[in-house]
Amino acid sequence: MFNPFKTVQARSRKQMRKATTLALGQVAGAMRPKPTKAKARPKSPLKGAGQALNRVNVQPKVSVKPAAKAKPPTATTRSRMPIPRGATFRSLTHEAPFGSLDYKLYLPATATRAERALPLLVMLHGCGQTPDDFATGTGMNALAEELGLIVVYPAQNRHAQQNRCWNWYRRGDQSRVTGEPALLADLTRMVLSTTPADPARVYVAGLSAGASMALILAAAYPDIFAAVGAHSGLSVGSAHDASTAMIAMKHGAPGSRSPAPMPTINFHGENDKVVHVRNGRYVAARAADAYPDLISTARKGRIPDGHPFVRQSHRKGTGKSFTEFWVITGAGHTWSGGSPAGRFTDPAGPDASREMLRFMLQHRTTLKLRKAAARVSAT
């Protein structure tokens, strides 16, 4: 049948494709962490973050000493941290039926002589980063050596995303059965089967786009992960394409309700110009909503000669916390407390790496819970 609007429609489709390509590029560029340090601004009250975060008991201000750690080496941003004798940090490739993934695997020196299985941490880098740079900036390998855990750093491929961003904002990469979550989960299972890793103590953490994907991964696979750490990320379901991702990053988006409780520790700079701090509040609210019977408290602190912060927690009495939300005054879109030897870090903030491990290592799963979570997630 003759279509008098054929030429106009073809032109319109071409313009739409061009606009979509431009929007995808803008998302990737915006998610790239900025190494510049923003000026501090007055702290806004915690609001709009859900019922679980609206009523908190703020305790008196305390001073927190920085965690003891070795002094960072004077080096360029692309230098590598030394590997202790007996430890390994290898470049590998994982092949799966639905794709392949390069990754770095850190095995501490204790892995060869450990009497029991070690915890496993999956670390997802941000846009414009690599596993080597992310490991250097977060100092996670040094902590893995100190605390005795295995760390795997998946590497996003430029063919999958030009700026090495994880595709957290695409519908096809937000579920259990397809896309990047399925590939990352398959990699995690493979590492579990080939290293002395403990299936009851598997964790995932990330920065920016990596944090957003870490939250998706933990929500989609509660049968694998016991806890999640997010730094400067967005809630699960906060976007479904490039356009909604830009809106969510700029203004904040609440995302979707958590399908099941998942212990969550979350860091966000109050002066973040890339991913609005409101997103951090939404991440914290979604995590806390899954634990309605916990007591909520908040404590203020300050790193000596560094940033002030507020830490919000949900716990049972004086026991371990099930959610934590750290808002860092004066910090931007960078990893808090990271090493200056890496890119996109802010050494003046609380040590996010150490605090994440302190939080996550308190949580574990059981075989019974893992089987139950697998059945529920499969339906």
HEC-encoded secondary structure of the chain = CCCCCHHHHHHHHHHHHHHHHHHHHHHHHHHCCCCCCCCCCCCCCCCCCCHHHHCCEEECCCCCCCCCCCCCCCCCCCCCCCCCCCCEEEEEEEEECCEEEEEEEEECHHHHCCCCCEEEEEEECCCCCCHHHHHHHHCHHHHHHHHCCEEEEEECCCCCCCCCCCCCCCHHHCCCCCHHHHHHHHHHHHHHHHCCEEEEEEEEEEECHHHHHHHHHHHHCCCCCCEEEEECCCCCCCCCCHHHHHHHHHHCCCCCCCCCCCCEEEEEECCCCCCCHHHHHHHHHHHHHCCCCCEEEEEEEECCCCCEEEEEEEECCCCCEEEEEEEECCCCCCEECCCCCCCCEECCCCCHHHHHHHHHCCCCCCHHHHHHHHHHHHC
First to last CA, the chain: 45
Q: How many angstroms separate the CA atoms of 124 and 230, rounded?
A: 10
Selection from 320, 314, 317, 311 nearest residue 290 by Cα: 314
Q: Length of the chain, please?
A: 379
Tokens of 352: 């996010």
pTM of the model: 0.81
Selection from 211, 185, 64, 53 nearest residue 123 by Cα: 211
Q: How many angstroms separate the CA atoms of 77 and 188, rounded?
A: 28
Tokens of 277: 């701090």
Q: How many angstroms separate the CA atoms of 287 and 235, rounded?
A: 9
Cβ contact 179:173 at 8 Å: yes
Dump pLDDT digits (tens) for 217-273: 999 999 999 999 999 999 999 999 999 999 999 999 999 998 889 999 999 999 999
* Predicted local distance difference test score (pLDDT) of residue 61: 42
Q: Does residue 11 surpass a pLDDT of 70?
A: no
Q: Predicted confidence band at 316 (pLDDT cuts at 50, 70, 90)?
A: confident
Q: Predicted confidence band at 8 (pLDDT cuts at 50, 70, 90)?
A: very low
* Predicted local distance difference test score (pLDDT) of residue 174: 94
CB count within 10 Å of CB 115 equals 6
* Predicted local distance difference test score (pLDDT) of residue 261: 94
Dump pLDDT digits (tens) for 104-153: 999 999 888 878 899 999 999 999 999 999 999 999 999 999 999 999 99
Across 55-61, average pLDDT: 41
Q: Does residue 17 surpass a pLDDT of 80?
A: no
Q: How many angstroms separate the CA atoms of 344 and 335, rounded?
A: 6
Tokens of 90: 């290898």
